[in-house]
A = this chain, B = another copy of it.
Amino acid sequence: MTTINDIAQMANVSRTTVSRALNNSGYVSEDARKRIMKIVEETGYIPSQSAKSLRTKRSGVIGIILPRLSTETTTRVVNGINESLAKEGFQILLTDTELDKQKEIEYIRLLKSRHVDGIILLATNVNDELLKTIQEVDIPFLSIGQELPGVTSLVYDDYHAAADLTNMLIHKGHEKIAFIGVTNEDPSVGGKREQAFRDIMKENDLPVDENWIGEGDFSIDSGYEQMKKILKNSKDNRPTALFAVTDRMAIGAMEYLKEQGYKIPEDIAVVGIGASMMSKYMTPSLTTVDYFNDEAGRNAASLLLRKLKNEEIEKKFELSYRLILRDSV
């Protein structure tokens, strides 16, 4: 492999000078610079990042830890992150926890060993070991979608998004609203969205029948199963609307409702959250909330880059959202 020493020798200069020419740091005579560049060109020399980052302690790589690559939300966030990062010459090192909490922690440490300049975590839960590990590794860190105490966090406004959806259903005249959530270990999706739903129902003096509350696991299938369970449990007193905390679960629920011959929205209205592609093209199109994940990703990346430059930034950023009213209500 060609190294900086080879180039130096061929150009009749020291490797110091080659380094300076390559990095535009310090003085290099026009003459030397030209000779060096010509040889770099000819040989196709590519400097070793390992050597560079061993020396400079910077790698130009940002680590990402995500719960599942295969959901649209995640993809859009990663896409946004990558857009911002690529512009500044950074690359992404990707790790996927497959929803395993322990792996979140492992990967933080692994990313440190790989000398990433910063880490962006798409967290699905908050626990002490996680927080402790983040402190320990002492790397510029950013959490997206979940508020982590002491960590710069970019969060969606889950509470108000869910509150708006609930209010909207109530204003449309619904009083019997079913709900499909996820585990409370996920404070954002599991906690806040359910809390908002319950708060708004209470504010409007509407009862929440626990038989109409389901807990899924983000998957389409679980939406299907929970809808089935809810209808089974409710006998003749059926809900007239369903609030599923993710589009995928809403879609699963709609699948079941259609199979059973229910009309959407006439018999049961359905809403989700996420603004997935599918929500737009299915029939009936799904009412949902757009979290602008791409933009969230872009913001996350540029915030992290600002941290790398030691700029002072706030600890918490709340993102905006937009209700998309469609045919399912």
Within 8 Å CB of A49, what residues of B?
A: 50, 113-115
Within 8 Å CB of A112, what residues of B?
A: 46
Docked pose: A48 CA to B115 CA in angstroms: 7
Contact of A109 (CB < 8 Å), options: B46, B109, B251, B278: B46
Most chain B beta-carbon neighbours within 10 Å: one of A49, A61, A109: A49
Within 8 Å CB of A70, what residues of B?
A: 75-76, 79
A188 at the B interface (CB under 8 A): no
**Binary contact readout A71-88 vs B (1 if CB under 8 angstroms, 0 otherwise):** 000011011001000100
Binds B, one of A91-99, A160-168, A209-217, A298-306: A91-99
Contact of A82 (CB < 8 Å), options: B96, B136, B251: B96
Whether B113 lies near A46 (C-beta < 8 A) is yes
Main secondary structure of the interface of A (DSSP, over half): helix
Whether B50 lies near A54 (C-beta < 8 A) is yes
Contact of A75 (CB < 8 Å), options: B46, B69, B114, B283: B69
Within 8 Å CB of A46, what residues of B?
A: 109, 112-113, 137
Residue pairs across A and B with Cβ atoms less than 8 A apart, 19 shown, are: A44-B136, A47-B113, A48-B115, A49-B114, A49-B115, A51-B54, A54-B54, A70-B75, A75-B75, A78-B94, A86-B95, A91-B94, A91-B95, A92-B93, A93-B93, A93-B94, A94-B94, A281-B282, A283-B283
A290 at the B interface (CB under 8 A): no
Most chain B beta-carbon neighbours within 10 Å: one of A59, A76, A94, A136: A94
Docked pose: A281 CA to B276 CA in angstroms: 12
Within 8 Å CB of A113, what residues of B?
A: 46-49
Whether A69 lies near B91 (C-beta < 8 A) is no
A9 at the B interface (CB under 8 A): no
| Closest beta carbon of chain B to A53's beta carbon, Å | 5
Whether A61 lies near B114 (C-beta < 8 A) is yes
Contact of A48 (CB < 8 Å), options: B54, B78, B109: B54
Docked pose: A46 CA to B113 CA in angstroms: 6
Known: A115-B48, A281-B255. A82 touches B69 (CB 8 A): yes
Docked pose: A53 CA to B114 CA in angstroms: 10
Q: A50-B54, A277-B278 are in contact. List 14 more A-B contacts (CB 8 A).
A: A46-B112, A48-B54, A49-B50, A50-B51, A50-B114, A86-B96, A91-B93, A91-B94, A91-B114, A93-B94, A94-B94, A278-B281, A282-B282, A283-B283
Q: In residues 49-69 of chain A, which contact B (Cβ within 8 Å)?
A: 49-51, 53-54, 59, 61, 69
A110 at the B interface (CB under 8 A): yes
Docked pose: A248 CA to B134 CA in angstroms: 40
**Binary contact readout A108-152 vs B (1 if CB under 8 angstroms, 0 otherwise):** 011011110000000000000000000011000000000000000
